[in-house]
């Protein structure tokens, strides 16, 4: 493979964003911020794709257009401003030309940008990889993971809040 898969993930320990270029030979991932390391399970990375998430070992990943939404919005705004200016200058053809061009660029960009794999559980993004095993977004699966996360948070709060403060009492 000429260009490998690129992984963007949130560190499970310090929750900062990290990047990695995992291959089949990558034994472990390391967080550059807190130096946390965790093992990459064997045979999960194959031929530029993953069968499960390398960060949280979830098998549920979905395919999404890796389109930078801000860029899309920026293009539309620039197009609108430019066409308004052309309209103001009574340049009818130019006005519609600009509107048409911005719309066309948006469509072309959408077709050109590659798909990315996203993990339902931890939100890790896998770019430049093959998408054989995976399907598009499913609200059902998303909901399952959202509830799982909410439950976990509740459990954590209970475990943390229920513990009495550690004060050594000596008379
Ligand atoms: Zn970290
Ligand atoms: Zn994950």
What is the pLDDT confidence band of residue 170, given thresholds at 50, 70 and 90? low
What is the pLDDT confidence band of residue 1, given thresholds at 50, 70 and 90? very low
Ion ligand 2 nearby residues (CB, 5 A)? 53, 55-56, 58, 119, 121-122, 124
Q: Is 49 helix (H, G, I), strand (E, B) or coil?
A: strand
Nearest ligand to the CA of 29 is 1
pLDDT value of residue 160:
66
Using the mean position of ligand 1's atoms as its centre, give its distance from the Cα of residue 9 in Å: 10
Buried b (16+ CB within 10 A) or exposed e, 94-112: ebeebbeebeeebeeeeee
Using the mean position of ligand 1's atoms as its centre, give its distance from the Cα of residue 122 in Å: 14
Tens of pLDDT, residue by residue over 124-153, are 999 988 877 788 899 999 999 999 989 988
Q: Is 164 helix (H, G, I), strand (E, B) or coil?
A: coil
Q: Is 132 helix (H, G, I), strand (E, B) or coil?
A: coil
Contacts of 49 (CB under 8 A, 6+ apart): 5, 117, 126, 129, 130, 131, 132, 133
Asked if 49 contacts 115 with a C-beta cutoff of 8 angstroms, the reply is no
41 or 61, greater pLDDT: 61
Domain boundaries, the chain: 6-59+115-149, 69-111
Tens of pLDDT, residue by residue over 18-56, are 999 988 888 899 999 999 998 888 788 877 788 899 999
pLDDT value of residue 6:
92
Nearest ligand to the CA of 122 is 2
């Amino acid at each position: 493979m000429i260009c490998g898969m690129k992984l963007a993930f949130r560190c499970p320990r310090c929750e900062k964003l990290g990047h990695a270029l995992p291959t089949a030979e990558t034994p472990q991932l390391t967080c550059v911020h807190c130096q946390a390391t965790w093992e990459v399970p064997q045979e999960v990375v194959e031929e530029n794709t993953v069968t499960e998430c390398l960060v949280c070992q979830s098998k549920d990943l979905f395919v999404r257009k890796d389109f930078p939404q801000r860029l899309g919005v920026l293009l539309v705004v620039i197009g609108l401003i430019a066409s308004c200016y052309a309209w103001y200058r009574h340049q009818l053809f130019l006005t519609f030309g600009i509107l048409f061009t911005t719309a066309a660029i948006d469509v072309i960009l959408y077709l050109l940008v590659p798909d990315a794999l996203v993990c339902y559980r931890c939100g890790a993004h896998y770019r430049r990889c093959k998408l054989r095993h995976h399907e598009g977004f499913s609200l059902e699966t998303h909901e399952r993971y959202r509830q799982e996360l909410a439950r976990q948070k509740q459990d954590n709060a209970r475990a943390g809040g229920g513990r009495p403060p550690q004060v050594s009492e000596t008379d």
